[in-house]
């Protein structure tokens, strides 16, 4: 589902891993690893199609990579992690159910695109490394809403953004040994198969709105589960 729209799926992975009772300290590593699998396929597709231009990507990843690495080195207390994850997933749910893409129109490029992109990249990169989501589900609509680029470019940039941040955060966490290798490898296989299927079936114009709302139910279930544990 996520591959069909150029995203990695970190928010859904984190939600489902939590519902499955996976130890919270291994959730970010597993989510980042699975993000890496899916966005490798997406980024390769965009590169082959010519939709991805490196010159348009670098402002978003210049600061996000070191920020994701630093975020991956942060070991949050369980309660703080759960609060941060619950807030993040709540925003994701709002993004799925409430956000409506604006109608694109011909307009000049935002005069402050580079500094805005640098700031967004740093903030979302740190979030990616800390919580284990790639950040694409926030970056793509932000690029469109702020007039930093058209929709196709936003999706292409989002796939690379998730890829590099997932890799940086994953490397940082692997150095600390916070990983369940067996879980990651077993899920990576099925996620890879699903990613290939999603990229292929998206050509048949799936109803993306319906798919995202189904994913939103998973996210809301996780928010409810986290809330019960915290309150």
Question: pLDDT, tens digit, for every residue of 175-208?
Answer: 877 678 888 888 998 998 887 777 666 545 555 5
Give the residue among 43, 8, 48 at the shortest CA–CA distance from 188.
8
> Which positions ≥6 away from 31 have C-beta within 8 Å?
10, 13, 14, 17, 131, 132, 133
pLDDT given for residue 49 in this prediction:
64
- pLDDT, tens digit, for every residue of 3-18? 766 677 887 888 888 8
Residue 119, pLDDT score:
93
How far is it between the farthest Cα atoms of the chain? 49
Distance CA 159, CA 224 (A): 29
Chain position carrying tokens 């196709």: 152
Give the separation between CA 125 and CA 147, rounded to whole angstroms: 21
Burial of 161 (0-12, 13-18, 19+ CB in 10 A): buried
Three-state DSSP class for residue 174: helix
Q: Which pLDDT band holds residue 109 (cuts at 50, 70, 90)? A: low
Whether residue 104 has pLDDT greater than 60: no
Give the count of beta carbons closer than 10 Å to the beta carbon of residue 108: 6
The chain-wide mean pLDDT, for the chain, equals 79
Q: Judge whether 128 and 68 are in contact, CB under 8 Å.
A: yes
DSSP state of 135: S
Instruction: Name which of 58-67, 92-101, 139-148, 210-219 the model is least confident about.
Output: 210-219
**In this structure, are residues 74 and 174 in contact, taking their beta carbons and an 8 Å threshold?**
no
Q: What is the reported pTM?
A: 0.76
User: Half-sphere exposure of 219 toward its Cβ, with a 13 Å CA cutoff?
Assistant: 25
C-alpha to C-alpha distance for 144 and 36, rounded to whole angstroms: 24
Give the DSSP letter of residue 146.
Answer: T
Query: Is the per-residue pLDDT at 122 higher than 90?
Result: yes
- At 94 the pLDDT is 82
Q: What is the pLDDT of residue 6?
A: 63
Q: Please give the Cα distance from 134 to 149 (Å, whole number).
A: 19
pLDDT (average), residues 72-97 = 82
Helix (H, G, I), strand (E, B) or coil at 9: coil
Residue-wise pLDDT tens digits, 123-180: 988 988 888 877 877 887 788 777 787 777 777 788 888 888 888 888 888 887 767 8
């Amino acid at each position: 589902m996520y591959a069909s729209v150029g995203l990695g799926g970190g928010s859904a992975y984190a939600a489902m891993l939590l519902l499955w009772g996976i130890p919270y300290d291994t959730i970010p590593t597993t989510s980042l690893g699975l993000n890496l699998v899916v966005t490798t396929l997406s980024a390769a597709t965009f590169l082959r199609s010519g939709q991805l231009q490196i010159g348009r990507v670098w402002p978003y990843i210049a600061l996000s990579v070191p920020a994701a690495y630093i975020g991956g080195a942060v070991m949050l207390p369980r309660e703080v992690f759960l609060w941060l994850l619950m807030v993040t997933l709540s925003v994701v749910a709002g993004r799925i159910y409430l956000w409506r893409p604006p109608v694109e129109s011909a307009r000049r490029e935002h005069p402050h695109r580079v500094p805005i992109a640098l700031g967004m990249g740093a903030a979302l990169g740190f979030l990616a490394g800390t919580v284990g989501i790639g950040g694409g589900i926030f970056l793509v609509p932000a690029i469109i809403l702020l007039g930093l680029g058209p929709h196709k470019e936003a999706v292409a940039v989002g796939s690379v953004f998730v890829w590099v941040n997932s890799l940086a955060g994953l490397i940082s966490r692997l150095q600390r040994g916070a990983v369940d290798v067996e879980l990651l490898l077993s899920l990576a296989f099925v996620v890879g198969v699903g990613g290939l299927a999603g990229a292929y079936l998206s050509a048949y114009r799936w109803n993306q709105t319906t798919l995202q709302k189904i994913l939103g139910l998973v996210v809301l279930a996780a928010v409810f589960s986290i809330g019960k544990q915290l309150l």
